Every structure is written in structure tokens, then in C-alpha cells.
């Protein structure tokens, strides 16, 4: 069930088979390997941590991958750089455009600054100020929009066409998925080096690029490990899409503390990958997320943003079935300002 | 100047040459390599991080090694395990005794628990409760003493003799120094893998085991890098001992937020190593330490204890001269409870 044609040339949409451009086809593991070779000089290797307090809370052995310590504070730099490093000289000269609620924005801005590429980022005006200001501080031009009323993809597309910018989407692109997949590759190899075979990997899911890339890596490196997507309550578009067998959208567009995970619906490419490779998708509440943030800060002294620890929240609250009692969890991002982090962790907020 | 006889058999003390037991002679790099092979299965590899905000604050490129993410929350597990793993079967059966203000206590207790060895830890009664309780939670017997009036080494020695326990000292032992030296080895190899030659390494110094082990590793792997010890103001026994050419003690025994760095005077073995290998020693104030703790939490989302970031504090405040503007800093520990961390970082405390 986990295999797919190496280079599927066509996609079935509403009964019609249409051909697709290369960048909308699923990456295979060799492409993740190639992305790793491309990215390694630019990235940190985040550690694999374990703490008795976390194991006790989860009733299982839980290995924690704090990717929030990655450059730019999230895994997003992997996909962004994998796209930017494959631009032609001409594309580099014209610049890139991206849309993002924050972490992908920081990643594209940072990667572009490092490579000397101009970047325009379309961000919702209700994104955390730390993310909007951080993106501007990295030299990017930020275009704000109203999440409730405007379509970010349409704004980005207009900028792309008007100014000849290369689109660097947050998830629905094989180069992005392969880049995020390098995190799954790194995790799988760290588990192997430690002599551990994880039952499950749990990670947050918004558009589905990270979980899809990780599932692709684990299918190759540790096929017995089941990869789960975790979403905030009311933003369970991937869970409902998996159940429906087709992409469905969320009714809500705001109203969760997990600002990084408020996508409207799964990507076309990422859903194609995830429906084949995921064990499933589960949800967690804001209160469960806060409990996980607190546990991470107490056990490891690491600050995680709400959307960054939904995977751990799901394990703490028994949402994900384990066979052997061994789980790996990715902490995907840590971009939350200190005041907000303090306020969320204050006693009585969960 | 950096070389010494591989197995010095004698130590000159006040004009008299006395022979010394093996464990009080300096380790060489091969012993650090051996320690690495022994420890690797039991330890995490902490990452090497960099952030524009930190570089801007220091006016230099600063590579951060957050060893506070290591198991037990500090580097101390390296030396402790290197000692415990070399016990004879008979010594293991009888158990170990250690004295420590906290991080070495947690490390010995954790290592002993993992290896099924009984541990008695002598701790000052004013040590952070999180460290005393954490040590008890790891199954060790804790004997508290009054830091102002009692001699911890004498208490440990009595326990050692009365109960036949193997002493696991916090720094003055070649196995401890070699174990801590694996952190220097890991850092030197990470810098090399990144193509960076650091001008300096800055790390906190209490008894001097870590800085001595790191200096031994850098002398072998990156001899152009100068290793600096950093101490809290009023606890600058290593700085004054280096200036005096002999070990001198601090007048103060308490009164710094850096609870991990309140040793009375350098160790005999560690001072012998450090006077040969260190570039020097500098001091930082509590306010400077708090500014460094805040910067680390904002830039990386990592909670460091006060004594854990004196090295960064020294770089932020221009205490350490740089040639090429590249420094590596070790964040040595993170064992501070969340309430205290919050209180120290609240606006107006520095």
C-alpha cells in the first residue's frame, strides 16, 4: 500500500485524468536524499531527546526531535531552501514570492537573504507580530492580508505574474515536500543509530508537507513505523479529508492558539501523498496543547509554539495507539514571543 | 607550551616531588577518545546553533552548543558516566558517593540508576530544590550539609570509608576530566564539519573539569583555538589562581545566582591542566548573566540556568578578545525551575 509509481505522470481529478507538471508530482525517497545533500551545509542537526518526565506523562517511551531549534525556529527552512537552491540564475535575479502564516515566511526570508534573493511574503494580518516583524527584519517585503476575507494564494499569484517572481509555496510542491522530508530522514537515522524502532511518528499537520515528506522518508527507512498527523480541534481538515476520501475544507478560519496550523484544506499534492502513507490523523484541544508546551519547558527547558507541540499533546492524551510503546515526536516550531509563552504557561490557563 | 608528558608520574608540590595515583594525573586526548566510545551509546549529541540576534549582541559570529539539552540537563553526565562505567563489579555492588551542588548530583544519580548502582549524594542544603528533589527522584540517597560551615569533601570521605563506597568527585579526577572533555571533542568536530575555526571557546568554570577537558580536546583537534574559563564575580578563584600561579580560594561561599559555579577553589588536578592550557579566565556579574539568559530564551527558546550561560555573558559584554570574530560558547546547564527562570527574566531584574 505504501508504494506508488515512481514518476506518476497523471492525476485523476473528478473522473478525468490530467497530466501534471513535475513539481506537482510526489517526490520519492531518492529526492529526499538529494535534498539532504543540498541542504546539509545550511542546516543544523537537531538532537533526539528523551526525558523520564515525558515518558511518565505519556505512559510510553517518547523520543523528542526539537526541530524548533532549527535555523529560523522551525522545520520550514528545509523546504524553503530546497526550493530556493534549485532556482535558475534568472529566477534568482527576479526574486521569489511566498504566502505563509509565519514560519514558512521566516524560512523563505532567511533563505532568500542568505542567497541574496529578493523575497515578497504574503502574510495574514493576524499572524503573531514576532513572525511578521521577524520576516521584515530578514529583509523581505511583507504584504499583509485579511485571513477572513482574502485569498492568499490569489494575492501571491498576482504578485508572481505582475513581477515575474518565482512562487515558493508552503507545502504543495514536490521540492517543498522533499525538503521537509529531510527531517523525517534525519529522525529515522537517529532512531536507527540509537537502536530504537518507533511504533509511530507524531507530528503537526497544516497543509501536510511535513507529514507527507516524513511519511515518504519512513516508508523507505523504517516501513513498520506508522506516521500520524495531528491537527488542532476545528482545524481537522486532513482528518476529515482522509475519512471522506477527498479534500474537504474547515468551516473555521481562526480561533485556535495554534497559529501555524490554521490552513483551510489539505494541499492537492500533499493529500495525494498522505492518503496513501499516513496511519491517520487525530486532533488536540488548546488546553492539551498548553499542557504539552508546559511539559516541554519543564522537562527540556525548550520553548515551543502552540502549533509546534500538537504531536506531543496527542501522545500525552492517548490519541495515538502504540504497539510496542515507543513513539517519536517532532516539535515543529518555537516562534512565539516570550510574553505570550509566559502568559500561556501561567497556572490556570489549561 | 601545550604539551605535557603523557603519563606524568610525579607532581611538584612546594618544592617536593611526590608520586601520584593514576586517577590524579591529567588525561590525554586518547583518553577522551576512549571516553567518547564508552559514553556515546548513553548520550545525546547536542546541536551547534547560531542566531543573527546573538551575533548582533556579541558583535561576532557566535556558535552556541546548548549542552543544557543533554541528558540530566547538563554536561555533568559525561564525567559521571565515564567514572561509573569504569567501576569494577565489586565497586558497583557496593555503590558510589558524590558531593555536588546539583548538576553533578543529578548526573551521578541518573547514571547510577541506569546502571543499577546505589548512590549517596552530599548536597548543600541551599542548593535549588529542583536539583535536590530531582536527585532524590532518581533514586539516590541525599545527605544535606551547611555550605557555610561544613566541608562536603570530608563528609563524602567519611561515607566512602564507613560504607565502602566508590568516590565519584565532581572534577578532580582524570576520568571526570576525560568525560567532560568529550564535550570539547564533540564541539571541535562540529565546528570542523561546519568549516569554522573558532578563535575562542568560552565556557563556565567551577572546579575546572569541563574547561580543562575541553582545553585538552581543543589542544589536540584545534590548537589555534584559545579556551577561556568564565566565572561569576566574587567566585573568580580560577582567574586569581592563574594570576598567582597557585591555587587560591574565594572569600565568598554564597551570594551569586550562579549556584552551579560556587566552588571554593580550583581542583589540584584541574588547576594543573588549566594553568597549562587555558588562554585565561574572566568574570561576569549576575546582571550580565541574566541578560544572557534572556537572549538565549528569546533567540533559541532554550531555558538556561544562570551558571549555564556565563560564557555567553562574557562574550556579550566584551570580556574575551577575538582575533577573527568567531567564538564558540557552551551553555553548560539548564536545571532551573520554571518559576525562578520566569522571575529572573522578568523586566527590570538586570
Among residues A316, A235, A249, the alpha carbon closest in space to that of A281 is found at A235
Residue B194 has pLDDT above 70, yes or no: yes
Residue B121: count other Cβ atoms within 10 Å of its Cβ: 30
Chain B residues within 8 A of A56 when measuring between CB atoms: none
Q: What does each C-alpha distance from B210 to A71, A76, A106, B206, B235 come to in angstroms?
A: 27, 35, 36, 9, 16
The secondary structure element, H or E, covering residue A69 is: none
Provide the b/e sequence for A109-125 (b: ≥16 CB within 10 Å): bbbbbeeebbbbbbbbe
pLDDT-derived band of residue B17, with 50, 70 and 90 as boundaries? low
For A43-65, how does the pLDDT look when each residue is reduced to its tens digit (9 = 90+)? 999 999 999 899 999 999 999 99
pLDDT digits (tens, 9 = 90+) for A232-259: 999 999 999 999 999 999 998 888 999 8
Q: What is the DSSP letter of B128?
A: -
Binding-face residues of A in 63-122 toward B, CB within 8 A: 66, 68-69, 71, 73
A99-142, pLDDT tens digit by residue?
988 899 999 999 999 999 999 999 999 888 888 999 999 999 99
User: Residue A11 pLDDT more than 60?
Assistant: no
Query: Does A304 contact chain B (CB < 8 Å)?
Result: yes
Distance from CA of B48 to the nearest CA of A (A): 7
Cα B316 from Cα B322, distance rounded (Å): 12
Query: Does A153 contact chain B (CB < 8 Å)?
Result: no
The pLDDT tens digits of the residues spanning B95-129 come to 999 998 889 999 999 999 999 999 999 999 988 88
pTM above 0.95, yes or no: no
Whole-number Å distance between alpha carbons of A53 and B261: 26
Per residue in B286-307, pLDDT (tens digit) is 999 999 999 999 999 999 999 9
Are the beta carbons of B49 and A69 separated by less than 8 Å? yes
C-alpha cell at B21: 595515583
> Positive or negative, the Cα torsion across B13, B16, B22, B27?
positive
Q: What is the sign of the dihedral through the CA atoms of B88, B93, B97 and B102?
A: positive
List where CATH 3.40.50.1100 sits in chain B.
Answer: 23-75+173-345, 77-167
Residue B120 bridge partners (DSSP): B97, B141
Would you state the cell numbers that stand for residue A98, as one nine-digit string?
A: 511566498
B240-268: per-residue pLDDT in tens?
Answer: 999 999 999 999 888 899 989 988 999 99
Q: pLDDT band at residue A80, thresholds of 50, 70 and 90?
A: very high
Residue B13: predicted pLDDT: 53
The B280-284 sheet, strands edge to edge: B61-66, B326-331, B200-204, B226-232, B280-284
Which CATH architecture does the domain made up of B23-75+173-345 adopt? Answer: 3-Layer(aba) Sandwich (3.40)
ipTM: 0.76
Straight-line distance from the first to the last Cα atom of chain A, in angstroms, rounded to the nearest whole number: 40
Pair B314, B60: CB distance under 8 Å: no
Kindly report the nearest CA distance between residue B194 and chain A, in angstroms: 7
Rg (CA), chain A: 19
User: Residue A123 in 3-state DSSP?
Assistant: strand
Among A66-70, A159-163, B19-23, the least confident range:
B19-23
Average pLDDT score over chain B: 92
Check residue B67 and report its DSSP letter. Answer: G
Compute the distance between CA of residue A229 and CA of residue A205 in angstroms, rounded to an integer. 5
Cα B241 to Cα A117: distance, rounded to the nearest angstrom: 52
Q: From residue A112, give the alpha-carbon distance in Å to each of A108, A116, A142, B289.
A: 6, 6, 13, 34
Q: Is B347 on the interface with A (CB under 8 A)?
A: no
Q: So what's the pLDDT on residue B253?
A: 81
Residue B61 burial (C-beta neighbours within 10 Å; 0-12, 13-18, 19+)? middle
- Tell me B333's DSSP state: B
pLDDT for residue B16 is more than 70: no
How far does the CA of residue A45 sit from the closest CA of chain B (Å)? 6
Q: Which of A45, A50, A297 sits opposite B338 (nearest CB)?
A: A297
Distance CA B130, CA B138 (A): 12
Which of the listed CATH numbers 3.40.50.720, 3.30.1330.40, 3.90.1150.10, 3.40.50.1100 matches domain B77-167?
Answer: 3.40.50.1100
Placement of cell 483551510 in the chain: A264
Q: What share of chain A is helix, strand, coil (3-state, %, to 5)?
A: 50, 15, 35
Amino acid at each position: 500500500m505504501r508504494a506508488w509509481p515512481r514518476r506518476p505522470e497523471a492525476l485523476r481529478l473528478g473522473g478525468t485524468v490530467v497530466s501534471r507538471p513535475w513539481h506537482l508530482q510526489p517526490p520519492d525517497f531518492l529526492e529526499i536524499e538529494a535534498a539532504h545533500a543540498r541542504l546539509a551545509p545550511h542546516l543544523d542537526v537537531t538532537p533526539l531527546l528523551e526525558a523520564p518526565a515525558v515518558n511518565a506523562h505519556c505512559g510510553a517511551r517518547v523520543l523528542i526531535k526539537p526541530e524548533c531549534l532549527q535555523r529560523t525556529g522551525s522545520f520550514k527552512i528545509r523546504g524553503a531552501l530546497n526550493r530556493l537552491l534549485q532556482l535558475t540564475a534568472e529566477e534568482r535575479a527576479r526574486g521569489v514570492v511566498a504566502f505563509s502564516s509565519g514560519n514558512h515566511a521566516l524560512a523563505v526570508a532567511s533563505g532568500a537573504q542568505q542567497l541574496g534573493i529578493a523575497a515578497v511574503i504574503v502574510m495574514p494580518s493576524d499572524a503573531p507580530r514576532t513572525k511578521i516583524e521577524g520576516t521584515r527584519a530578514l529583509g523581505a517585503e511583507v504584504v499583509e492580508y485579511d485571513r477572513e476575507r482574502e485569498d492568499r494564494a490569489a494575492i501571491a499569484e498576482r504578485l508572481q505574474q505582475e513581477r515575474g517572481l518565482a512562487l515558493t509555496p508552503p507545502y504543495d510542491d514536490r521540492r517543498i515536500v522533499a525538503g521537509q522530508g529531510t527531517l523525517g530522514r534525519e529522525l529515522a537515522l537517529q532512531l536507527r543509530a540509537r537502536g530504537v524502532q518507533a511504533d509511530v511518528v507524531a507530528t503537526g499537520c497544516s497543509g501536510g508537507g511535513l507529514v507527507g515528506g516524513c511519511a515518504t522518508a519512513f516508508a523507505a527507512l523504517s516501513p513498520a513505523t506508522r506516521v500520524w498527523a495531528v491537527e488542532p480541534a476545528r482545524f481537522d481538515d486532513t482528518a476529515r479529508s482522509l475519512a471522506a476520501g477527498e479534500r474537504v475544507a474547515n468551516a473555521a478560519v481562526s480561533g485556535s492558539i495554534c497559529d501555524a496550523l490554521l490552513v483551510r484544506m489539505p494541499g492537492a499534492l500533499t493529500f495525494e501523498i498522505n492518503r496513501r502513507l499516513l496511519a491517520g490523523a487525530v486532533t488536540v484541544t488548546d488546553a492539551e496543547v498548553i499542557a504539552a508546551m508546559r511539559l516541554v519547558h519543564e522537562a527540556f527547558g525548550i520553548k515551543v509554539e502552540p502549533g509546534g507541540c500538537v504531536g506531543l499533546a496527542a501522545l500525552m492524551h492517548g490519541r495515538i495507539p502504540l504497539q510496542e510503546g515507543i513513539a517519536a515526536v517532532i516539535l515543529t516550531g518555537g516562534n512565539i514571543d516570550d510574553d505570550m509563552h509566559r502568559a500561556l504557561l501561567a497556572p490556570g490557563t489549561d
